[in-house]
Amino acid sequence: MTDWSLLGRILDFCGVYFTIQLVRCAFFSFLLMGLVMLLRKMFFSKGTFFRGMLWALFLIIPFLGKLKVFYENEAVVRATWWITAGTMSCLWIDRIYIAGILGAFICIFGKRLRLLRTVAGMETAVFENVRICVTDMNVTPFTVGLFRPKIVLPKVMAEGYGMN
């Protein structure tokens, strides 16, 4: 017989863990946004390249939860303890977060299936021994499919390249 309380505890743990990571990333994103804006205004007001390079600091945000600075630095642990304590005491927030993630997954999967059905109904053309799906829709060229990828081009572009 299945132990449902164990499954519930595992889901609660996952919800707490991912909610903590999300809130930490959001918190540090706001701090970093302020820092970037301040540096852009004070030091890099004329240099377009350096102003743009400041935005590269945001590349570290998704990895914050995995950096040792969160778990081995006492100052950071103390500063972010309120996030951990809040998510551990309000499990309903974590459950809403997990439900939102599942809802987003279902929406994205449904849109993906609709796109695959739409591409399957398109006419095909051959260009240099490659089958290409041609559409009348006003879209940019794209590929779809992981195991059987298809290239989709708008009809205007296909005619411009003289595809059969």
15-58 confidence digits (pLDDT tens): 777 777 777 777 777 888 888 788 777 777 776 777 777 777 77
Alpha-carbon span 25 to 20, nearest angstrom: 9
- Give buried/exposed letters for 54-68 (b at 16+ CB in 10 A, else e): beeeeeeeeebeeee
Quote the CA–CA distance of 134 and 131 in Å, as a whole number: 10
Q: Which DSSP state fits 161? A: T
CA angle 57, 58, 64 (to 5 degrees): 100
> Which residues, including other chains, have CB under 8 Å from residue 87's CB and lie 6 or more apart?
16, 19, 20, 23, 93, 94
Closest CA to 141 of 103, 46, 125: 125
Residue with more model confidence, 71 or 148: 148
pLDDT of residue 68: 65
- Tell me what the pLDDT averaged over the chain comes to: 79
- For the chain, what percent of residues have pLDDT higher than 90? 6
Q: What pTM was computed for the model? A: 0.54
Once rounded to an integer, what is the mean pLDDT over residues 67-95?
72
The mean per-residue pLDDT over the stretch 133-150 comes to 86
CA atoms in the 13 A half-sphere facing the CB of 151: 12
Q: What span, in angstroms and rounded, lies between the C-alpha atoms of 73 and 144? A: 44
pLDDT exceeds cutoff 80 at 135: yes
